[in-house]
Structure 1
Amino acid sequence: MGNQDRDALYELQEKVAQSLDDPSRLQKLTTDEINTIIEQKLFAGVWESEKLVAARAFLVPPPNDPEHLALDAHIPNELWPQVIYSEISLVDPDVQGFGLQRQMGEWWMEQLTTTPYRYVCATVAPFNIPSLKDKFSLGMHIIALKEKYGGKMRYVFLKDFQNKVEEAFFEDIPMADIKRQQQLLKQGYVGLALLQKDSEWVVRYSHYPIS
């Protein structure tokens, strides 16, 4: 991995961002973050004719990160070295629809089961439907909904390889109802599924789901 990978990842990120109706849905990687991902060897890509068309990157966060997602997940400080971020998923608009994001995610989750990492964390913007579906399909669940990255509203997702998540008593909340979702999360609910009801996107929240 070298400069070619860095440049390819940066170029793919720019192409994906420009294709979005709302570019703010994508929390783009900085140059430093791209360099760190390459150095940590936490980048996997799909190449077609020497062109990067899909990529999925993870990141080991710095322990002094003031917005460390372990804080949102209430993970004890001594376990922070076991936290890894699902940082970004990118698929070239020209090859979307072939399940590349899902396939890369499943591959990564399998790889992580043999590493020291117990917790996978991620953030997703509300109404970024493809990314929300992706996180739920990988067995992640919502544990917070709050402002991150300078005031941008984000769901915080968590997957704990040592705990099983099960659906108990649940309530379906419209995604647009930020306040009600935040109330349930403070009461110990977690988001387990994304559904569409009468053309409206809703999140299913369940209580006492972790066993």
Structure 2
Amino acid sequence: MIAQGILQHQPTGQERKYSVHVLSLDALEELQTMQKEVEQHVEDSSTLQPLSEEEFTTILTGGGLLIGVYVRETLAAFRALWYPGHHIENLGRDVGLPEAEWEKVVHQEISCVLPEYRGNRLQKSMGVWIMDAFHAANHGRTHLFCTVHPENPGSLKDKFSQGMVIAAIKEKYAGMLRYIFYRPVSSPVLWDESTIVTVQQKDYDEQKSLIENGYVGVQWQPSTLLFAKKQ
């Protein structure tokens, strides 16, 4: 167990105790079942990139890290990290990271929360818990990446709150547009506040142009994003 506390069960308003654990392959079936339930309640399915059974198995058998939040022995939420190595989906490739660094890459993957436990800021809390567990593992990985759907404000705010920045905008997962977020594992990306530019959230051409000229996305606001020159 790596954390514990109290959550509010939204349908009843009741407070319920939770505990957070690093999961093993024994949890595969309940992870798949819970992910399917979450998928059924997502308004826009393109905002969620689910994990396959193979991907779950890889992560749970040493190819990453996965934590679960349990309430009364029921899996209420989970969050995953993946170590892609030289896999074709290694996001380091998308930002020009040298091949010698690919083995040092870690991806933040899916976060799932059952509908009845939303509103407890679990996505953000799980981000802290899983990165604490990751650092404690002494793995030697130094580059943190993830992808986010451009119209998923919850995930955008989550990534920015971790000191990550938008380093690229590309089509991923069979042609779906995604922001590629990045930060060094040990420190946030530094950027020059005097260079901040406000861009409309759907003006992807302008965003791509800024990135090509040394800017990174640094903050989400309703209908807009802020970009700044990377130091």
1:29 aligned residue: 51
Cα distance in 2 for residues equivalent to 1:164 and 1:23: 30
Structure (1 or 2) with the greater strand fraction: 2
Q: Does 1:125 align with 2:149?
A: yes
Q: Does 1:166 align with 2:190?
A: yes
Residue correspondence of structure 1 range 67-86 to structure 2 within 5 A: 67-86=89-108
Q: Is the 8 A contact 2:198 2:224 kept in 1?
A: yes
- SS at 1:103's partner residue? helix
Which of structure 1's runs of 4+ aligned residues deviate more than 6 A?
A: none
* Structure 2 residue runs without a partner (length 5+): 1-22
Q: Is the 8 A contact 2:167 2:211 kept in 1?
A: yes
Cα distance in 1 for residues equivalent to 2:98 and 2:35: 33
2:211 aligned residue: 185
Aligned-partner residue type, residue 47 of structure 1: Y
Residue correspondence of structure 1 range 1-211 to structure 2 within 5 A: 4-40=26-62, 42-63=65-86, 65-114=87-136, 115=138, 116-168=140-192, 169-196=195-222, 201-209=223-231
Over aligned residue pairs, what C-alpha RMSD do you find? 1.6
Aligned-partner residue type, residue 27 of structure 2: D
Cα distance in 2 for residues equivalent to 1:94 and 1:9: 17
The alpha-carbon deviation at position 208 of structure 1 amounts to: 2.4
Which deviates more from structure 2 when the two are superposed, residues 166-175 or residues 80-89? 166-175
- SS at 1:42's partner residue? strand
Aligned-partner residue type, residue 170 of structure 1: I
Residues 56-103 of structure 1: CA deviation (Å, up to 9, x unaligned): 11011141x223201123222111111111011111111011111111
Cα distance in 2 for residues equivalent to 1:163 and 1:54: 27
The alpha-carbon deviation at position 163 of structure 1 amounts to: 4.8
Percent identity, please.
34
- SS at 1:66's partner residue? coil
Cα distance in 2 for residues equivalent to 1:69 and 1:101: 22
Q: Is the 8 A contact 1:109 1:138 kept in 2?
A: no
Aligned-partner residue type, residue 174 of structure 1: Q
Which deviates more from structure 2 when the two are superposed, residues 4-13 or residues 124-133? 4-13
Cα distance in 2 for residues equivalent to 1:163 and 1:103: 19
Q: Is the 8 A contact 1:73 1:158 kept in 2?
A: no
Residues 25-76 of structure 1: CA deviation (Å, up to 9, x unaligned): 101111100111111261101011111101011011141x223201123222
Cα distance in 2 for residues equivalent to 1:152 and 1:164: 27
- SS at 1:123's partner residue? strand
How many residues end up aligned between the 2 structures? Answer: 204
Q: Is the 8 A contact 1:46 1:54 kept in 2?
A: yes
Q: Is the 8 A contact 1:83 1:119 kept in 2?
A: yes
Normalization by structure 1: what TM-score? 0.90
* Structure 1 residue runs without a partner (length 5+): none
Cα distance in 1 for residues equivalent to 2:186 and 2:81: 19
- SS at 2:93's partner residue? helix
